[in-house]
Amino acid sequence: MGSRKNSIGRLGIILVGVLFTMTAFGSPVVAKEIKIGVFGDVTGPIAFTGQQFWKGYSDYFKWIEKHDPIPGITVKLLMEDTAYDPKRYLPVLKKFAAKGISVGYIMGTMGTMTMDKQLRKLKIPCVSEGSGYPRALKPPGYIFLLRPLYPDFLAAACIHYMDLWKKAGNKEKPKLMEITWDVPYGRGCIKLGEPWAEKYGFEVLPYQLFSGQPNDLSTQLLRAKKLGADLIYSNHLEGHQAVLLKDAGRLGLLDKMQFCGGSESRGKQLNELAGKAAEGAWSVSHFVDWSQTDNKGIQLAMDMQKELRGGVNYETQYIMGMIPAMITASAIRYAAATFGPENVNNETIYKALTTMGEINMLGLTPNVKYSPTERRPFKSMNISKCVNGEWVEEKYDIEIPWLKP
Amino acid sequence: MWRPSGIFNVRYEQDRSVIRTRAQWTALAVFLFLVAMAPFFFANNYLLSILILTIITIISLQGLNFILGMCGQISVGHSAFMAIGAYSTTIFMERLGFPFILSLPCAGLSAALIGMIFGMPSLRVKGFYLALATLAAQHLIHWGLLNGGELTGNIYGLSVPPASIGGFVLDTDRSYFIFCMLMLLLMCYFGKNLERSKIGRAFVAVRDNDLAAEIMGINIFRYKLLAFSIGSFYAGIAGALWAHYLLQIHPSHFTMMDSIWYLGFLVVGGLGSAMGPIFGGIMYIGLKEVVALITPSLGSLFPSISTNIFSGLALIFYALVVIIFLLFEPRGVNRQFNLLKSYYRLWPFAY
């Protein structure tokens, strides 16, 4: 009887001890959950691009959760398929708003132009790939562009081409023609970019459009040939660029004109589809190439893929998907550190994005910096060239004019 | 034909009335009450948003039902007529200072005028050739909006002011849903009555055999144009409602694919019937949501084929639904609904 009493007494002492220890170390902290809404164009016309974006974006958050978590914060990604369909964005935005997202990621110009006003109304900051809609900057709202406007892409191509043109001793004006996809994204360079190119010294030829998924772009190329175009610029996807380059090869135009596309106009898929026709083509982008293996950002992309996917898939859009994730994670981290993890919400993330200063992008892009009056991230662009099936540096860090919308 | 057994009309008014029995009046009252209360039932704006889009689609399909279902004239430019309505209401409000309540019917009338112009080829051509003529309308209007200078905002589209009535701004999903629902009821009521009027009967006569209709004294040119203008009026109203909901418009919001799917889902709903557009609209928006919900999950289940197959799953799915209905139920969901109603009324008797 006595020993039983002793046992109960010992158990009581142990329990009190455990409780005391727990109190001494403080109650366990529950991390605040931050929801991020991803407007995923993972089906529809930009499905391939959207799926790669999503891989890069989601992998980065998985990676930091494991290796560099945000103190006091857990991140939950909510992804809805918006299919690049303007009638899908609004219901998805309402759904996300109802679920209480604090920040979002938009994958294209269509989403940006469709939701700009609604995001201002709901006060949800979103990072966006949609650089084809300058009105999102005027006045600055809740959309934070991940790259300069598309006309600045064209400007970068023109600046570099003009340098080469002058170095080659040419006296006459080079002729620029846009052959591009007939959607807001594709037409994104025309209005601001072409007048600028004309002032910069180019003779601007009438732009040529195509719609849908083209099988043949000979008509547009023959027009370019007839008018004597020197630089062909295109804002479209890898599949489109492959058709353009293959047709150019068939018509014997590859060595007569310089073909240049935007960020989405190059990558593994283009090389597979266009084969040798892709050789010598340029691409303007805001990030570095996979070939830059010394770059810390590229090393991170490789490490992430090796760990999370068991191998590296050299898709350029994967890098593009990492960029918004890095910016968003940095803003959440800054907001948590500045305002406290419990106060991280759409308003503090917005404040963080506009006031936190430079975001270190590990060399993947120039360091990103937004301000209360500016939603473009940086002022320089890279041009890459396809050499032996690999995209390598043609000219990096070209300063761009930031064309005024 | 669908009147319940034992109900006898003794006056012409009874014979003409749309709602005939006390049970129908009660059902209507309950329905209206539920509709009015619907915004308060839904915990979030997502479902309301889907309902608003469904209503807008139904109004648009009703317009197409006049052109195709009742008058037998094919139109592949219906989405472009919606664009006219969307742009018109914005221009009327922003440039001419019209109030919303005036700009909305003006948007419908603008679309009706443009629809009438593009309906003119219907006098000389029909079927496939008329489809091509209206396809041209789609492309011309799209091009016009993209190159319309400051008036249409070029490639950036237009920013749309919010709808407001007498100082009350319809800037919440609840208020906008109620307004859209009222518009739908009004348009349905007008459409149902038009269907039973001289005009509606003339449309059907033109659809069934335009030569016979002409011999009977129906001015087929007039009625074909009227069908196009009424159908486009509906499209214009739908486009304007869309614009004031989104607050932002662009030609890419009104594509040829939309026009084609409107045709397909009008067939799915039931061509030529008052209920057809309602079923068609619900099916179209409902399927979109279902596909959007299941596609990413399917993609993650089969990662090796997700890029190639699932990116186009929505189109495959819609097309499959349209084909199945064309093959097995060309008269659409509406016929099944009517069969169900008559079965319920006759139950437990087979006949």
Nearest CB to A94: which of B45, B310, B314?
A: B45
Query: How do residues A71-101 score in pLDDT, each as one tens digit?
Result: 999 999 999 889 888 888 998 999 999 999 9
> With pLDDT > 90 as the criterion, what percentage of chain A qualifies?
75
A14 within a domain of the structure (yes/no)? no
The answer on pLDDT for B292 being more than 70 is: yes
Here the CATH number for the domain that contains residue A92 is 3.40.50.2300
> With pLDDT > 90 as the criterion, what percentage of chain B qualifies?
58
In this prediction, residue B1 carries a pLDDT of 45
A20 within a domain of the structure (yes/no)? no
- Enter the tokens of residue B342: 């008559």
Output b/e per residue, B150-168; b: 16+ Cβ within 10 A.
eebbbbbbbebbbbbeeee
Contact between A44 and B292 using a beta-carbon 8 Å cutoff: no
In this prediction, residue B3 carries a pLDDT of 59
More confident residue, B210 or A213: B210
Residues 235-264 of B with CB under 8 A from A: 245-248, 250, 252-253
Confidence class for position B44, pLDDT limits 50, 70, 90: confident
In this prediction, residue B303 carries a pLDDT of 64
- A390 and A330, same domain (yes or no): no
Confidence class for position B190, pLDDT limits 50, 70, 90: very high
- A167 and A122, same domain (yes or no): no
Residues of B in Cβ contact (< 8 Å) with A184: 155-156, 250, 252
- A165 and A139, same domain (yes or no): no
Q: If we measure between CA atoms, which residue out of A113, A152, A109, A110 comes closest to residue A131?
A: A109
Tell me how many domains chain A contains. Answer: 2
A16 within a domain of the structure (yes/no)? no
Query: Whole-prediction pTM value?
Result: 0.85
- A216 and A228, same domain (yes or no): yes
A27 within a domain of the structure (yes/no)? no
As a whole number, mean pLDDT of residues A100-118 equals 94
The answer on pLDDT for A191 being more than 90 is: no
- A313 and A261, same domain (yes or no): no
The answer on pLDDT for B310 being more than 70 is: no
As a whole number, mean pLDDT of residues A116-129 equals 94
Task: Give the span between the Cα atoms of A106 and A336, in whole angstroms.
Answer: 23
**Structural domain harbouring A319:** 32-148+293-374
Question: Are A391 and A316 in contact, with CB atoms under 8 Å apart?
Answer: yes
- A178 and A276, same domain (yes or no): yes
How many angstroms away from the CA of B258 is the closest CA of chain A? 10
As a whole number, mean pLDDT of residues A45-66 equals 92
| Chain A touched by B340 (CB under 8 Å) | no
Question: Are A235 and A257 in contact, with CB atoms under 8 Å apart?
Answer: no
The answer on pLDDT for A188 being more than 60 is: yes
- Do strands A208-210 and A203-204 pair parallel, antiparallel, or not at all (unpaired)? unpaired
Confidence class for position A213, pLDDT limits 50, 70, 90: confident
In this prediction, residue A7 carries a pLDDT of 63
**Which residues 6+ apart lie within 8 Å of B75 measured at CB?**
B64, B67, B68, B119, B130, B131, B134, B228, B231, B259, B263
A17 within a domain of the structure (yes/no)? no
Three-state DSSP class for B272? coil
Confidence class for position B316, pLDDT limits 50, 70, 90: confident
Tell me which of A8-12, A150-154, A161-165 is least confident. A8-12
- A125 and A253, same domain (yes or no): no
- A281 and A390, same domain (yes or no): yes
The answer on pLDDT for A39 being more than 50 is: yes
| Rounded CA Rg of chain B | 21
Contact between A79 and B296 using a beta-carbon 8 Å cutoff: yes
Task: Give the span between the Cα atoms of A400 and A153, in whole angstroms.
Answer: 8
- A275 and A387, same domain (yes or no): yes
- Enter the tokens of residue A89: 């964005």
A11 within a domain of the structure (yes/no)? no
DSSP state of B70: I
Question: Are A42 and B299 in contact, with CB atoms under 8 Å apart?
Answer: yes
- A389 and A262, same domain (yes or no): yes
Looking at every residue in chain A, the average pLDDT score rounds to 91
Residues 312-331 of B with CB under 8 A from A: 312-314
- A161 and A75, same domain (yes or no): no
- A253 and A311, same domain (yes or no): no
Q: Which residue of B has its CA nearest to A86?
A: B253
As a whole number, mean pLDDT of residues B165-175 equals 90
In this prediction, residue A20 carries a pLDDT of 52
In this prediction, residue B198 carries a pLDDT of 94
As a whole number, mean pLDDT of residues A267-284 equals 93
Query: How do residues A218-265 score in pLDDT, each as one tens digit?
Result: 999 999 999 999 999 999 989 999 999 999 999 999 999 999 999 989
| Chain B touched by A83 (CB under 8 Å) | yes
Task: Give the span between the Cα atoms of A142 and A349, in whole angstroms.
Answer: 11
The answer on pLDDT for A202 being more than 50 is: yes
In this prediction, residue A6 carries a pLDDT of 64
How many CB atoms neighbour CB B302 within 10 A?
A: 10
A167 within a domain of the structure (yes/no)? yes
How many angstroms away from the CA of B259 is the closest CA of chain A? 14
Helix axes B220-246, A109-122, angle to 10 degrees: 60
Confidence class for position B33, pLDDT limits 50, 70, 90: confident
As a whole number, mean pLDDT of residues A314-322 equals 93
How many CB atoms neighbour CB B132 within 10 A?
A: 13
